[in-house]
Structure 1
């Protein structure tokens, strides 16, 4: 089987950034920043993105590019004879499937709300009625399941067309549209009356607020966000390393992906905080921010139907770009390890993900009695805990140890691969940090997430 590759460097960067950019950028980053001293958190976030996120990203990309395959295949090609590193490749496949078990449902919510705003469903509604629409959607398994199914079917249909003709072509259009939409929404939000108060709350370093929370808590929150924002540890980024050329160094490409991801996260805050402060609404965390707080803002805004539709179109692109990127990883694993054609892998993948996504949909209604993390939790919470608090940090630690220890691929081989090509080179004096300090940081994130 001939190995597919990206048609252009821009295609690689936009698809990889599309995988990293997701719902966490929008409903988690701004809220965590607001709670942790605004600009203080942003400064620590940028620091840890360079210190933690970017290095681990280069390692995933290096394994993919040197191993010319999905996680299991690449590990087999690079691991010392007789070792079992490739077993992590199968865990990566399960991790991608576990992520899609709930991410497809949430992506379906975005699509549902786009059409609701476009149809004028929220026009003239009060705050209780807006909340009622969200609660009604959660209570209706057919509504949720329908939009989830559309997300899965369209996602695999795009990926079935191949890397360049499917994923790369569609993702280029979506990511360009996403960037245009986010700039338009930022301009609208920062020109609202009273927007300046929201901007200062979000961007100006407030050390007093940071000290109230505790500087240690701010640092850990920034460390967590910088790490999880890139979806590292389950091979979702590794597969794109296997498709990229050797013309450019991995450090430079990793920093460009981080920059695009951070741009979207920062702009999300520029949309949310000025709008919420302008209308005197507290920017709450999580789904309530996106599906209750912001629809209330749009409902009270001149032209709110248009701005709400544009916002949820942006959110649809942000979430769907992650969906099709992870689907591509699932398909690559199936094709390489089971000798399937892309078409057959797409059909099987569609059926598996559709069935696997049903518990998340039913967890808000028919199966609401299932509360895996205690009273009030849902199936989605349990699935998200498994992926975010276990598979991502543990997987990232495995990639790291594989690249820097003599029991794995080894630092010298990783270093040579990372620095192959034109662009920013990885300094050799970082070896001590990458080998001894970065693993400790990741263990801290793992333990903190479990606690």
Structure 2
């Protein structure tokens, strides 16, 4: 540990190693499946099931998908192994993880505090959007859309945004449910609930995709989605398509704010990190891919534009379900799937926030649950009020036509903290001023399974940092 020893003085949850020294007894995942499903649940979220389909639609379909997969392999997998390696080698959350591995006298651990801030910022708006998913599931379940005209369907989303009470109720449900699950600990809470929720999510997405493929005209949607059409991509601009694919593949895993690092600290050393990272990326990509298989065939079947942007989920798709036989059931199932996808991310990030407080401040899990829950509830309210009582409009790179508080928070996380944090993790793992490539490689290749080749060292040290820096600069301007 480079001569650095991290002490944790709470004997009832510590193991005494020698006189006067206490080390925190770290929880572990109960099973490998639990680790994979919880980690994939963290990666699988709104970026997969909401953003991926509409960005694909905006950028020409199949060509975008090809570049997305390419960039996921050359960028996503390496940085994911690095976050997991820091967590597994240190057995700590972000701040103490850096302290355990960094060279003596260096200040890499400062980034750990920005990771905690990033997780809190993410939850300040993510809980609200997750509440939107739950709200729509409730509306379809009780038949609020039954027999609604197109104008009425379009007005439901605007009406929800204008009602702070309605949004607050569903946000509060998400926050309370999330912290309740995490209060039971890793195995009895997060792992147990996320495992079943992820299995239900995967089953739901297959059922929904099969149903979409049976609709009249569905194959036109599949062709638009999967067949590479470079002429269509050229109309958008091939450079724009490549850039969009690079951004989406990078952001889909939520790397850079230690959201994945914490699960590395809980995992066993039986399997190599490269193999586990590939499996997580495959699950993440499967859900993103299948989301498109639900949405594009349905859109083409009912003559709806698949490139309608962010409104695709909350405005366009409800129109499709309203006009579909059994639309009430299929709409409810779709938004149940969306709720599961977003809630698994909420659980994972809540666990990260709580673990950071437990590690750094010596809190019990019960105390961390209470304080963090109250903080997130209060911190989430500006996002809820930003669409009504505190409404204003500001031009941002991620909202060129005007954004609200949610867009500001999303800009700070997605455009700044995620790429900058990923760059710091990368440099920490591959440069002599940080942990170092040899130690990272040894940790990444510990265990059975796919191994990371030493031949990638020049790429990691000189090319990958430039790619991430380009993403960072592009996101800021």
Query: Shorter-chain TM-score: what band?
Result: over 0.9
Is the contact between residue 58 and residue 308 of structure 2 (CA under 8 Å) also seen in structure 1?
no
Partner of 2:457: 431
Q: Which residue of 2 aligns with 1:390?
A: 416
Aligned equivalent of 1:231, options 254, 265, 289: 254
Which residue of 46, 51, 57 corresponds with 1:34?
57
Deviation at 1:371, TM superposition (A): 3.3
| Residue 115 of structure 1 pairs with residue 141 of structure 2 | no
Equivalent residue number for residue 33 of structure 2: 10
The CA deviation at 1:367 is 0.5
Q: CA deviation at 1:285?
A: 4.5
User: In 1, Cα distance between the equivalents of 2:393 and 2:281?
Assistant: 37
State the 1:24 CA deviation.
Answer: 1.2
Report the equivalent of 1:168. Answer: 191
Task: Kindly indicate whether the alpha-carbon contact (under 8 Å) linking 1:28 and 1:285 is maintained by their aligned counterparts in 2.
Answer: no
TM-score by length of 1: 0.99
Alignment map for 1:13-92 (pairs within 5 Å): 13-92=36-115
Q: Deviations over 1:263-301 (max 9, x none)?
A: 000000000010011000112445411111000000000
> Between Structure 1 and Structure 2, which shows a larger proportion of helix residues?
1
CA contact (8 A) 1:122 1:299 kept: yes
Q: 1:110 & 1:34 partners in 2: Cα distance?
A: 21
Which digits, 9 at most, give the CA deviation of each residue in 1:361-416, with x for residues without a partner?
A: 00000001253637631110111011000000000000000000000000000000
Q: CA deviation at 1:26?
A: 1.6
Q: TM-score, normalised by structure 2?
A: 0.93
In the alignment, which residue of structure 2 is the partner of 1:193? 216
RMSD (Å) for aligned C-alpha atoms: 1.0
CA contact (8 A) 2:58 2:307 kept: no
Q: How far apart are 1:450 and its partner, in Å? A: 1.3
The question of 1:448 aligning with 2:458 is answered: no
Alpha-carbon distance in 2 for matches of 1:358, 1:136: 18
2:206 pairs, out of 175, 183, 186, with: 183
Residue among 122, 142, 166 paired with 1:143: 166
**Aligned residue for 1:346?**
369
Structure 1 portions without partners, runs of 5+: none
1:284·1:293 contact (CA, 8 Å) conserved in 2?
Answer: no
In the alignment, does 2:256 pair up with 1:209? no
Query: Which residue of the other structure, out of 243, 254, 259, is the alignment partner of 1:220?
Result: 243
Give the deviation of 1:85 after TM superposition. Answer: 0.3
Aligned length: 451
Aligned equivalent of 1:399, options 425, 428, 435: 425
Contact between 1:363 and 1:370, CA under 8 Å: does it hold in 2?
no
Q: Structure 2 regions of 5+ residues with no counterpart?
A: 1-13, 15-24
Once the two structures are superposed, residues 232-285 of structure 1 have per-residue CA deviations (whole angstroms, 9 ceiling, x without a partner) of 000000000000000000000000000000000000000001001100011244
Secondary structure of the corresponding residue to residue 243 of structure 1 = coil
Q: Secondary structure at the match of 1:376?
A: strand
What are the equivalent positions in structure 2 for 1:276-295 lying under 5 Å apart? 276-295=299-318
| Partner in structure 2 of residue 419 of structure 1 | 445
Change (3 A) 1:84 1:25: same
Separation of aligned partners in 2, 1:95 and 1:409: 22
CA contact (8 A) 2:51 2:310 kept: no
Match of 1:102 in 2: 125
